[in-house]
Amino acid sequence: MGNSANSGKGPVGKFFKGVGNECKEIGLTFAQGDWKTKVSYLIMGFGPLMRKQFLRGFAYLAAEVLFIWYMIGFGWGYLKDFTTLGTVARVMNDDGTFSYNDNSFLILLYSLLTIILIFIFLVVWRMNLRENRNEEKLLAAGKQLGTVKGDLYSLLDSHFDKTLLAIPVLGIFVFTVLPIVFMILVAFTDYDANHQPPTNLFTWVGLENFRNLFSFGTTGLGSTFLTVLGWTLIWAFFATFLTYFCGMGVAIMINRKGIKFKKLWRTILVMTIAVPQFVSLLYVYKMFAGDGLVNSYLMKWGLISSAIPFWDNPLLAKIMIIVINLWIGIPYTMLITTGLLMNIPEDLYESARIDGATGFQMFKSITLPYMLFVTGPFLLTQFTGNLNNFNVIFLLTQGGPQSMKLSNNAGYTDLLVTWLYKMTINDTNYRMAAVLGIMVFVVTAVISLIVYGMLPSVRDEEGFQ
């Protein structure tokens, strides 16, 4: 293990090598630098300011001042409680009122923010040193340093990427990265209905939640988790491949020579993409309800004597979801495959026909291999998208029918994500919701990695183009 780290071949080794190089550079900069550079180790931006690089100098100085002000006034107060997540929650005062002290939620969130800010500060500090070294080198070579105008212009030219990415990266950091890391940390705490800040504290529990998910006793979630995971995978498989093949079939029919009104057929199918799903799926849900249109007519015509429990029978509900998803999904595949099907060279079919191939044989040996090759990445994103297909499940069954055999309110058509949603909203069982979220990530990542390596268009990029 130590060997591989030293050799610098693996990503871990590369990382340590990189850190080592940085340390060496920092030392060299200090040893070889002039006094302005040396002061910049403590007072950021000092060197640039002395060399009349006012914009850069002030920017570094402002960063340092802001950071220190943040740490003293805010960050440290939370970071010092990070290991315990608070010790005193609510205290009753002598006059019967309550005063609130530590809030585990805030401590966890702001400690995390502070830790990330410390890392960012270290990076800025390192940039400040590099800036000093560059300026010294330029001056030693007898060159002019840049001007403020030049710096600003570069933000629209050679450094335009920074201007373009600043706001998107900041937005993703605050509203995606921070919350995700926060929830990953929650998976290692006991944050649930009994530990709600500010009334109660929550604290670190190690791997207990993961053990709970994988334990198969009467209290554990093991069997429910496996049931839900199994259905999630089955659902994603059928939802992806059934829609894919049916959609392609419809596209082939519409593309067929001699079929008229091609545009009309496509427009009719596309209606399900255009109409918002909460309208169409909620309506379809009501159509198949016990007192819905379908059951009413079947009974009126005397075909059945009592209502078919479309949504109350686990197996029937699962089949219904997959079938109704075809209604939603076929138009997408149809749209995508229509154009691609027309790209297949006609003479391939022509020569096959001369050899006496039937329609099915041509589909099997010409159309299908070509389509699978070209749409491989699409199938992968469809599959991972279906693993998390919240709308179809939630608008149709809300995960039901529920059962005493499944714990934590899970139902037979729940996907991991809908179960996660119920845990968050109905049970406020944040600790297990966080664990489930991590599991969804693991499943998605593992499937993506395996399939991505198998895709022909990735292995053979030239053939793909």
Partner 1 sequence: MGMKTKKTLGNTITYIVLIIISIIWLFPFVCLFLQSLRSYNEGGGGMVEYLLPKQFSLDSYKFLFSQDSQFVRWYLNTLVIAAFVAVLQTIIVLCVSYALSRMRFKGRTFLMRFWLILGMFPGFLTMICLYFLLKQFGLTQQGAIPGLILISVASSGMGYYVTKGYFDTIPKALDEAARIDGASRARVFLTMIIPMSKPIIIYAALVAFMAPWCDYIFASYVAFGYSDSYNVAVAMQRWVWTNDYQGYFTRFCAGGMLVAVPITILFICLQKYYVEGVTGGAVKG
Contacts to partner 1 from residues 14-53, by CB under 8 A: none
Q: What's the rounded Cα separation, in Å, for the pair 324 and 201? A: 45
> Is 380 near partner 1 (CB under 8 A)?
yes
- Which of 200, 215, 277, 407: binder of partner 1 (CB under 8 A)? 277
129 near partner 1, rule: CB under 8 A: no
Using DSSP's 3-state secondary structure scheme, residue 358 falls into coil
- Which residues on adjacent β-strands are paired with residue 100? 90
Contact flag: residue 292 with partner 1 (CB under 8 A): yes
Q: What is the C-alpha to C-alpha distance for residues 346 and 74, in angstroms, rounded to an integer?
A: 69
Which residues inside 62-121 make contact with partner 1, applying CB under 8 A?
105, 109
Least separation in angstroms between CB 3 and partner 1: 26
Q: Which of 31, 42, 156, 315 contacts partner 1 by CB under 8 A?
A: 156
Residue 379, token pair as written in the block: 């199938």
The piece of 16-24, 90-98, 224-232, 294-302 that touches partner 1 (CB under 8 A) is 294-302
Q: What part of residues 185-204 is at the interface with partner 1 (CB under 8 A)?
A: none
Q: How far is the CB of 234 from partner 1 (least distance, A)?
A: 18
231 scored as a contact of partner 1 (CB under 8 A): no
Distance CA 351, CA 347 (A): 6
Alpha-helical segments (H) within 192-290: 208-213, 222-255, 262-274, 277-287
Q: Which of residues 332-351 bind partner 1 (CB under 8 A)?
A: 332, 335-336, 338-340
Q: Which residue has the tokens 């004597």?
A: 305
Closest of 169, 141, 143, 135 to residue 56, by C-alpha: 135
In the chain, the amino acid numbered 188 is F
Distance CA 78, CA 90 (A): 17
How far apart are the C-alpha atoms of 403 and 236, rounded to whole Å? Answer: 22
What is the H or E stretch that residue 446 is in?
helix 430-454
C-alpha–C-alpha distance, residues 245 and 253, integer Å: 12
Minimum separation from the CB atom of position 34 to partner 1 (A): 27
Q: Which is nearer to partner 1, 220 or 249 (CB)?
A: 249
CB hemisphere CA count around 212 (13 angstroms): 19
Of 89 and 371, which CB lies nearer to partner 1 in the complex structure? 371
Residue length, the chain? 465
Nearer to partner 1, 79 or 443 (CB): 443
| 157 part of the interface to partner 1, by CB under 8 A | yes
Q: Is 300 in the site for partner 1 (CB under 8 A)?
A: yes
Continuous segment of H or E residues that includes residue 312: none
Among 28, 62, 66, 273, binds partner 1 (CB under 8 A): 273
Token readout for 61 is 């100085």
Query: How big is the chain by its Cα radius of gyration, in Å?
Result: 31
Q: How far is the CB of 309 from partner 1 (least distance, A)?
A: 17
* Least distance in angstroms from the C-beta of 132 to partner 1: 19
- Binding range to partner 1, per CB under 8 A, among 43-51, 220-228, 360-368, 372-380: 372-380
Which DSSP string corresponds to 93-104?
-TTS-EEE---H
CB of 128 to partner 1, least distance (A): 17
Task: For the CB of residue 197, give the shortest distance to partner 1 in the complex, in Å.
Answer: 10
Contacts of 226 (CB under 8 A, 6+ apart): none
Of 87 and 176, which has the nearer Cβ to partner 1?
A: 176
Q: Applying CB under 8 A, which of residues 2, 217, 258, 453 lies at the interface with partner 1? A: 258
DSSP state of 144: P
Contact predicate 330/240, CB 8 Å = no
**How far apart are the C-alpha atoms of 383 and 446, rounded to whole Å?**
12
Cβ 176 to partner 1 shortest distance, Å: 5
Candidate residues 78, 310, 383, 430; the one interacting with partner 1 per rule CB under 8 A: 430
How many residues belong to the site for partner 1 (CB under 8 A)? 96
Q: Nearest approach, Cβ of 409 to partner 1 (angstroms)?
A: 15
Cβ nearer to partner 1, comparing 61 with 186: 186
Q: In what helix (H) or strand (E) does residue 98 lie, and over which residues does it extend?
A: strand 98-100
Residue selected from 217, 276, 302, 463 as contacting partner 1 according to rule CB under 8 A:
276
Which of 352, 378, 407, 427 touches partner 1 by CB under 8 A? 378
Is 268 near partner 1 (CB under 8 A)?
yes
Residue choice 54, 153, 214, 241 for contact with partner 1 (CB under 8 A): 153
Structure tokens given for 104:
């585990």
Q: How far apart are the C-alpha atoms of 338 and 335, rounded to whole Å?
A: 5
